[in-house]
Every structure is written in structure tokens, then in C-alpha cells.
Amino acid sequence: MLDSIPYLVEPMVVSDLGQVMAIERASFSLSWSERAYRYEIVENEHSTMLVVRTAPRLLGRPAAWLQRLGWGNPGTQKSGPVLGYAGFWLLVDDAHVATIAVDPDHRGRGLGALLLASLIERAADLGARRATLEVRVSNETAQGLYRKYGFQIVERRRRYYSDNNEDAYLMATPSFESPDFQETLRRNTAALARRLSQPPPPPA
């Protein structure tokens, strides 16, 4: 369903890190370092890190595909800047979402949902049975996105964030194989494809 959108999701590479760090600093009060991202890309065999950007244009039209994660030649045909990124760690058969962020100038367009759906797809391909994550209790916008994709609160972690001692919710999906989750994912993917099918607005 996501084969005709004007965006490209592909593995993060070291040359993306300058742009990734700009989004990181604009998005989080507790930010990762560039060294941490480099470790995730180069050394951590349990880590999958992705970026989203506008897709290359072919014959004046958006490329008619979402580059599958790990298929093709990552790092080639980059037509635009990094608009957002996300990553997870595969812990036995759990995919733990470690980070997800979208450039402030490109929020509200569905790119966070695209990244989350892409993480779930890639995690399932790698053998994960469910996804988990932590989110600030005050971040209702993110919680709404996660609930839409089947995540539910399973635990409250007290004073989890060291910058302000805010609590976190641990959220988890049901089994990826459950019929209800599969239907939720199918429905959301169809709606997301419709939302993203129009070319992105030109840069300001």
C-alpha cells in the first residue's frame, strides 16, 4: 500500500548524522550524542536505525515505491534532506523502539506514523513478535500515535527521565501475529498511504 508515496525510508548511514543531530537537538531535552548514533549504525548488531526523506523523482514524478528496509542500495539516490528518523533494538523477540523524531518543520504530515509502521514491518521481518517503548506521561501526542498502532500502557515507570524526573509509560503491542493487530496495521497503512500520496509541499 505504501508503494506510491513520495517519501523514502531507508537505513540510516553515517553521512546522515549531521542532519539527524539537528533534529535530535530540536526534539529532545535528553538528546543522544552523535557518537551514540554512530555506535548504533556501525557496531550494534541488534540495532536498526532508519531515516525518511523525500523520494527521488523519476521523469518528473515521485518514485513509485517505498524503498524496503535493507533492500536496494542504502545511501544512494538521496534526493532530499533527512526529515525524520527512528530506531529499535531487537531484544530476543521484542522490538524495543529506542527513538523516533521528525523535523519540527515537517511534523503533522504523517511522517512519524510512516516511521513507526516501517519499524514494525522491519521488526517483524527480523523475527520480533511484538514492539515495546517508553514515552513521557505528558507526551499525549505520541501516546495517541502509539495507541493508534496497537500499543497499550502496561506499566508506569517512576522518575524515569533524569532531566525532570518525569514518569514514563511502558507501552507494548499485542503479538504481531494476532488478527486484531494485523487488521489494525492494515487499516492504518491504507489510511497512511492515502494521506502521504500527495507530493510534499515545496521547501519554504
> Which burial class, exposed, middle or buried, applies to 42 when counting CB atoms under 10 A from its CB (0-12, 13-18, 19+)?
exposed
State yes or no: is 146 an active-site residue.
Answer: yes
- What DSSP designation does 192 have? H
Query: Which among 7, 37, 146, 169 is annotated as catalytic?
Result: 146
Take residue 153 and report the three cell numbers written for it: 500502557
Q: Rounded to an integer, what distance in angstroms lies between the CA atom of residue 22 and that of residue 144?
A: 25
In the 3-class helix/strand/coil scheme, how is 114-130 assigned residue by residue?
A: HHHHHHHHHHHHCCCCE
Instruction: Please pick, among 134, 160, 161, 166, the residue that the annotation labels catalytic.
Output: 134
> 143 by DSSP, 3-state: which?
helix
Active centre residues (catalytic): 134, 146
